[in-house]
Amino acid sequence: MKITVKRATWFLGGFHTRTMEIPGESGTLTYDQPLDRTDRIEVKDGDLILVKETVLSKIVNIVFITSMLFFIFSNSLNIYTESYPYPPDFLRVSGIGVTIIFVVIIVISFFFNSYKFVKENNSSKE
C-alpha cells in the first residue's frame, strides 16, 4: 500500500514529492515539531497528502526576508551614500523597530504549528 506526500512549503522549505509504503490499508501520518506541536491525518492507500505552510509560517518567512533586505540595503546606503535624504537617526530607529518585530514574530512562531497536512484527494488509486 502506498501514499504520496508532497511538500509545498514555499521557497524557504521547497517542493518535494515522496511515495511511502504504509503497512496496512489505513493509518495515521504524523508530523512532529519541537515543543509538542504535531499534526496528524488519517491516510488510506492511494491518498495524496500535501504538507503546507500555515499562514503564520508564511508571515514569518516574509518578515525574515524583509528584515534581511532592510539590513542589507540600509548598510549599503550608509556606506556608499554621504548625503542620505533621511535624518541620521532614521535608519537606527527603523532598524530597531524591524528587529523588534522580527524577534516578536519568531518567538510567537515557536508556540504554533508551522506546517499542516491537507488531503488533496480521497483514495485515488494509481
Average pLDDT over residues 2-13: 77
Q: How far apart are CA 83 and CA 89, in angstroms?
A: 13
Is residue 116 scored above 60 in pLDDT? yes
Per-residue cell: 77:
546606503
User: Would you list the domain boundaries of the chain?
Assistant: 2-121
Instruction: Calculate ∠ Cα 111-13-35, nearest 5°.
Output: 20
Average pLDDT, the chain: 76
Quote the pTM value: 0.62
